[in-house]
């Protein structure tokens, strides 16, 4: 009888013990950009890395978020710095969490690739097999260049492979660092539309700046019946297509990475949400959430690679389309 009572009390909600848990703030706080890098909270004391806010409005103002009010700035409902008096967004080039993450990941990437390149400079490839960092990077580089870039771009691939390889490794390292939960990982960089937008912009430039005569003819005067060109329906569609291709790249990477982060965080949020439902439910849900989290982490590892691969491949395909020759296209 006493045992039943114990079980019943275990099943009782423990709302009094648990704090109110704001799921929305938990999720969006983790996936969106911030003016400081929040690491954890110990006994209610927030531990975070302060980052410089740089605002250009009648001169350059540099301060940390704690001193925003002293400089006449405050945060709006989106968590962005605004002028405290006018409520307008100033020109804000702060080193935010994502910017710092980008910098750290970029330094890592540059080190990784340049050290690998240094190995090739210092060793004779005809006499030695790659060791260390070269052995790590070479298969990946060769796979991307030979299987993706060469096949998709065509004979002129050598000119574009540095850009496409850079894009691939840049996305890959940012994706992977995004999965890693503590500093310097955990920033949702490739799940941010500004980042994917710039990547897509670079691809757009690569495609359109170096497109050949045939590519532009296909856009402005395609091989379709005249009435489709006289009223410029086809050219309009083609010009729209010029922009939708990189746009799709931007949205695909952004949405996939953001969704992955939100999925993982939702599973973790389950633990905190169920805290109010009693120790038994909370305990069992914690086990389930942890197991599900492991699964999702593995899935995210796959997605991290896959999205970098897909972005690179589609960019290569778009570049390849801008370099077709009429005689190769006839069949």
Partner 1 sequence: MSLITPDFGLLFWMVVIFGIVFFLLAKFGFPVITKAVQKRSDHIADSLKAADEAQARLAGMAEEHARMIEETRLEQSRILKEASQARESIIAQAREEAREEAAKLLEHAKVEIAAERESAIRDIRRQVAMISVEVAEKIVRKDLDEAGGQSALLDRLVDEASQAQIPN
Enumerate binding residues for partner 1 (CB under 8 A): 28, 31-33, 54, 78-80, 91-96, 98-99, 102-103, 106, 109-110, 113-114, 116-117, 120-121, 125-126, 134, 137-138, 141-142, 145, 158, 161-163, 165-166, 169-170, 192-195, 197-199, 202, 258
* Shortest distance (Å) from residue 318 CB to partner 1: 17
* Shortest distance (Å) from residue 215 CB to partner 1: 23
- Distance separating alpha carbons of residues 178 and 190, to the nearest angstrom: 8
- Pair 29, 41: CB distance under 8 Å: no
Q: Name the residue nearer to partner 1 (CB basis): 67 or 158.
A: 158
Q: Name the residue nearer to partner 1 (CB basis): 192 or 282.
A: 192
- Pair 266, 138: CB distance under 8 Å: no
63, two tokens: 């301060």
* Shortest distance (Å) from residue 54 CB to partner 1: 8
3-state secondary structure of 295: helix
Residue 19 has what DSSP assignment?
P
Q: Name the residue nearer to partner 1 (CB basis): 11 or 143.
A: 143
* Shortest distance (Å) from residue 103 CB to partner 1: 6
Q: Name the residue nearer to partner 1 (CB basis): 145 or 218.
A: 145
Could you tell me the CA-to-CA distances from 125 to 129, 162, 229, 250 in Å, in that order? 7, 20, 55, 38
Q: Name the residue nearer to partner 1 (CB basis): 174 or 274.
A: 174
* Terminal-residue alpha carbon distance, the chain: 83
Q: Name the residue nearer to partner 1 (CB basis): 55 or 285.
A: 55
* Shortest distance (Å) from residue 255 CB to partner 1: 10
* Cβ contacts of 181 within 8 Å, gap of 6 or more: none
* Shortest distance (Å) from residue 32 CB to partner 1: 6
Q: Name the residue nearer to partner 1 (CB basis): 53 or 275.
A: 53
- Distance separating alpha carbons of residues 226 and 92, to the nearest angstrom: 50
Residue 149 has what DSSP assignment?
I
Q: What angle do CA 178, 109, 199 make, to 5 degrees?
A: 70
Give which of 151, 152, 204, 178 is closest to 304, Cα–Cα.
178
* Shortest distance (Å) from residue 58 CB to partner 1: 17
- Distance separating alpha carbons of residues 243 and 209, to the nearest angstrom: 14
């Amino acid at each position: 009888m006493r045992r039943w009572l114990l079980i019943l009390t275990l099943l009782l909600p423990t709302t009094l013990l648990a704090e109110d848990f704001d799921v929305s703030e938990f999720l969006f706080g983790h996936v969106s950009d911030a003016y400081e890098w929040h690491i954890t909270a110990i006994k209610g004391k927030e531990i975070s890395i302060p980052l410089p806010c740089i605002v250009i409005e009648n001169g350059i103002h540099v301060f940390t978020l704690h001193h925003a009010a002293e400089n006449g700035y405050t945060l709006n409902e989106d968590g962005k710095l605004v002028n405290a008096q006018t409520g307008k967004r100033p020109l804000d080039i702060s080193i935010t969490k994502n910017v710092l993450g980008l910098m750290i990941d970029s330094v890592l990437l540059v080190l990784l690739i340049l050290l690998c390149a240094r190995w090739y400079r210092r060793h004779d490839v005809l006499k030695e097999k790659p060791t260390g960092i070269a052995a790590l990077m070479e298969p990946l580089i060769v796979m991307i260049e030979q299987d993706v870039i060469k096949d998709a771009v065509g004979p002129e691939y050598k000119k574009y492979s540095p850009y496409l390889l850079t894009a691939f490794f840049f996305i890959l390292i940012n994706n992977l660092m995004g999965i890693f939960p503590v500093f310097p990982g955990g920033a949702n960089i490739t799940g941010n539309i500004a980042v994917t937008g710039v990547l897509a912009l670079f691809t757009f430039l690569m495609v359109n700046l170096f497109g050949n005569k045939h590519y532009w003819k296909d856009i402005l005067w395609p091989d379709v019946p005249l009435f489709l060109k006289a009223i410029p329906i086809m050219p309009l569609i083609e010009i729209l297509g010029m922009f939708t291709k990189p746009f799709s790249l931007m949205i695909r990477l952004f949405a996939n990475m953001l969704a992955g982060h939100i999925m993982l965080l939702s599973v973790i949020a389950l633990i905190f949400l169920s805290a109010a439902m009693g120790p038994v439910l909370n305990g069992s849900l914690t086990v389930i959430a942890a197991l599900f989290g492991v699964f999702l982490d593995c899935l995210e590892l796959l997605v991290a690679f896959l999205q970098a691969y897909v972005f690179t491949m589609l960019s290569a395909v778009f570049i390849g389309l801008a370099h077709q020759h009429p005689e190769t296209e006839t069949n």
